[in-house]
Amino acid sequence: MFEQAEWIWKSRSFESNSYGWFFKYVNIQQSILGASLSISAHNHFKLQINGHLVSGYVSPAPSTIPANKLSLTYDVKPFLNIGINLIEVIVLYLGGSGQNYQDGIPGFILEGDIQTQQGTISLQSDLSWKAYKTIPYQDNMPFQQSRSITPVEFYDQTIERQPNQSHDVVILDVPYRYHQQLIPEGHIYEVIKPKMIYSDEKVKVFDCGRIVSGFPQVILHAKKEEILTLRYSEDLDQHRVKHNVANEPSEHYCDHIKVMANQDTRHAF
């Protein structure tokens, strides 16, 4: 596995809670017979092809590194077209204390083949990939909890990714040994529409009816550029969300999104 691919990252900096958004264009001129991609990253990745999310929300699953770095393989034929295809990989690096204190090296590795009527197109992570210089995710946000599992996500929808404003990637030497992930990826099993229980001009409080673990999604129409904060808790304090994570006080158990003005917005955290 990954015999030709390189482990790449956006720089040689290992700052905690840092995002890398990588991309590559693939030109396919003949009918596609089949296509698959294998990928791993540290700590987590999202694989997108032509704007469609291919991977789960938190992949790969945590593992004991470097001996057991998990990887996943996808059938990507449904996402590819004849012509120019955009493949993107978004990587979140938590840092040395992240993912239950599993220290590691940031980046990702990818390898696959696209079978066409004229032959096979090989695809691998290497120096031909680029990384956007400016991305909607804000780096170096604080962890939400003391165990350093997830950082606060700050997503700025007003920032556009510009392919002509990109920088070269670097190859890093990693000691990982890869194993196929056997447990299911994180994905949406059920959609819960919460009930609004409190509202004023600035704050809306919703109740899911039970304790859940999942990915909140907001759908709204913004009249001006503003920052929306989503705060979470397992309980309330007089119809307001407590500032805690289970039994642990936390001012950072929340996410933020800066929304576009005069535009319908949909975003999943």
**pLDDT the model gives residue 100:** 60
Contacts of 46 (CB under 8 A, 6+ apart): 53, 55, 57, 59, 89, 90
C-alpha distances (whole Å) from 175 to each of 42, 103, 112, 146 are 12, 12, 21, 28
**pLDDT the model gives residue 1:** 84
Please write the tens of the pLDDT for every residue from 118-155: 899 999 999 999 999 999 999 999 999 888 888 999 99
- Give the predicted TM-score (pTM) of the model: 0.94
Of the pLDDT bands very low, low, confident and very high (cuts 50, 70, 90), residue 256 is: very high
- How confident is the model over 165-194, as a mean pLDDT? 92
- How confident is the model over 227-247, as a mean pLDDT? 88
Helices (H), 187-262: none
E runs forming strands in 32-68: 32-42, 44-49, 52-53
* Cα 179 from Cα 176, distance rounded (Å): 10
**Comparing C-alpha atoms, which of 93, 142, 94, 138 is closest to residue 251?**
142
* Cα 205 from Cα 197, distance rounded (Å): 6
- The torsion defined by the Cα of 41, 42, 43 and 47, in degrees rounded to 10, comes to -20
Residue with tokens 């990587």: 91
Beta bridge partners of 169: none
Contact 145, 253 (CB under 8 A): yes
* Cα 249 from Cα 244, distance rounded (Å): 4
Of the pLDDT bands very low, low, confident and very high (cuts 50, 70, 90), residue 252 is: very high
Of the pLDDT bands very low, low, confident and very high (cuts 50, 70, 90), residue 215 is: confident
